[in-house]
Structure 1
Amino acid sequence: MSTLVLRLAGPLQSWGSESRFVRRTTETAPTKSGIVGLLAAAQGRRRVDEIEDLVGLSLAVRVDQEGQVLRDFHTAHNPKRPQANIPLSNRFYLSDAVFTAYLGGPSALVEGLASAIVDPAFPLALGRRSCVPVPPLLLTISEKEPREMLLDTPLQAGRSQRRSRARTVRCSVQADVQVLPEEASRRRIRDVPLSFNPEDRRYAYREVVETVVDVANPDGRASGGHDPFAALEGLL
């Protein structure tokens, strides 16, 4: 077994699970359907292709930088039918968020996915097509399990965020139950894609655990120590 470690960062992200129609909300952490879709696009899979092997990957997501929720009042116009009633919608995004995702599975599959992320067949997105990721997307692949990499991967927040925080940072984690079976705090999310086929889209529920981990911050400052960059906080 190997673990694929991704850094999911960009100006905007949107990870919907239950939302449809005119109100498109976002989860506060990347969904399994969104990440599976990103991996499938990297490999050049079509929406009608099988995705069972990708769905079978175990997943954990760490929140390295929370970001802020933004609402977009979305309008549309059809130049061919200017008088047609087109529904208005509210679409929600996460601004300036940074996550690390840990996907565990067979080594051959993980290595193939890593190669595809570096040279993707289709454009990649953080949930919605308009949400473009900021490189680097691929951090590493490891023979360690996802639960170990959750602790071993240094904080991936933005530079100013890292400098303004302590050398050890507590981060929220959302993971498949099999990754952290000892955790008691659990919830169900309908984000397991059974089919991306536009004519037969289907999703199933996933039980996840929610917890926190303490993460090393290589650019952090010692508690109570002098920080020469404090006056520049938020500018870098």
Structure 2
Amino acid sequence: MKSYLIFRLHGALASWGDIAVGNIRPSYRYPSKSAVIGLLAAALGIKRDDTDQLRELFKLQFSVRVDTFGVPIEDYHTIQTPSEQAIKNDRGKDYWTRLDEIAAINWRVIQSQSNAEAGAIQSSRTYYCDALYTIALSENANNSISWDKLRPEITQINGLIQFLEKPIFNLYLGRKSCPLSLPLEAQIKKGDNCQQAINAAEFNFQEELALLTKSVETIAYYSEESLPYSQMKLSRRDQPVNKSTWQFTDRDEYYVSIKRGHDVSA
């Protein structure tokens, strides 16, 4: 049997970046591997330019059970961009009072409005409301992880639990505006496959969460493992290559959809 790190993701809002074109910022319907590895890296205090450490996390095998996809919502989003001159003038300044900060903000707005190139960036962003996911991460037998490169005190996958319980950086669901609504409740479970391990996990607040899932008829699994009775093999461009330059490559994942109440682990 194999050991899996299992934890739950739930929030009022979540957004899992899809391929973006122009001012449209779509979201996948379920967590991307890149986002989950980013969450794990934040818990460990690993920054985007810590490439050696991130490279070890990229080796983890990723699986997710979608308990409910949530409701998609669209947000019309604008960002005011300061002019280059305003940025140069503002760089390196110290503000001792809130009044100083307000004066600097007003100055940047005036400078931006006087610059023909400055203005508001407009975008349309997709979020999923009240979604619920169960994540499973495991080691790949063909691509072993050097745990000591992550943290000296970590020797195997269960060493990640303490950092998910007390993360070094803030954790969020794809965007910084999407905080967690419940604890991750990270735990180690064993199984012949990710389905067995996920189904063996036990979480709190099940009665409260039942309100979100009561109308859900099927449960979906997406996994890098070859799942028993998989119905489809998908290709997804969310395997991180370099987080600091936002480079990704394709990876394969297997899909299984099971009627709720008939979720039998093979």
How many equivalent pairs are there? 211
Q: Does 1:71 align with 2:74?
A: yes
Aligned position for 1:175: 223
Q: Does 1:161 align with 2:212?
A: yes
CA distance in 1, matches of 2:21, 2:41: 22
> How far apart are 1:87 and its partner, in Å?
2.1
Query: Which shows bigger deviation, 119-128 or 148-157?
Result: 148-157
Aligned position for 1:191: 238
Q: Is the 8 A contact 1:29 1:174 kept in 2?
A: no
Tell me the amino acid that sits aligned with residue 64 of structure 1.
D
CA distance in 2, matches of 1:206, 1:125: 23
Which structure 1 segments of 5+ residues have no match? Answer: 218-236
> How far apart are 1:210 and its partner, in Å?
1.4
Q: Is the 8 A contact 2:48 2:243 kept in 1?
A: yes
Alignment TM-score, normalising by the size of structure 2: 0.71
Which structure 2 segments of 5+ residues have no match? Answer: 82-104, 140-144, 146-153
Alpha carbons of 1:9 and 1:135: their partners in 2 closer, same or farther (altered >3 Å)?
same
Alignment TM-score, normalising by the size of structure 1: 0.80
CA distance in 1, matches of 2:202, 2:68: 13
> How far apart are 1:67 and its partner, in Å?
0.8
Larger radius of gyration: 2
- Spell out the pairing of 1:1-236 with structure 2 (5 A cutoff): 1-19=2-20, 21-49=22-50, 50=52, 51-78=54-81, 79=105, 80=108, 81-83=111-113, 84-105=118-139, 108-144=155-191, 145-153=193-201, 158-161=209-212, 164=214, 170-176=218-224, 178-180=225-227, 183-197=230-244, 200-213=245-258
Q: Is the 8 A contact 1:60 1:179 kept in 2?
A: no
CA distance in 2, matches of 1:128, 1:181: 33
Query: Which shows bigger deviation, 204-213 or 144-153?
Result: 144-153
Alpha carbons of 1:158 and 1:19: their partners in 2 closer, same or farther (altered >3 Å)?
same
Secondary structure (helix, strand or coil) at the match of 1:114 reads helix
RCO higher in 1 or 2 (8 Å CA, sep ≥ 6)? 2
Query: CA-atom RMSD, angstroms?
Result: 2.5
| Larger helix fraction of residues | 2
Q: Is the 8 A contact 1:6 1:140 kept in 2?
A: yes
Query: Which shows bigger deviation, 46-55 or 112-121?
Result: 46-55
CA distance in 2, matches of 1:134, 1:158: 11
Alpha carbons of 1:54 and 1:102: their partners in 2 closer, same or farther (altered >3 Å)?
same
CA distance in 2, matches of 1:118, 1:52: 23
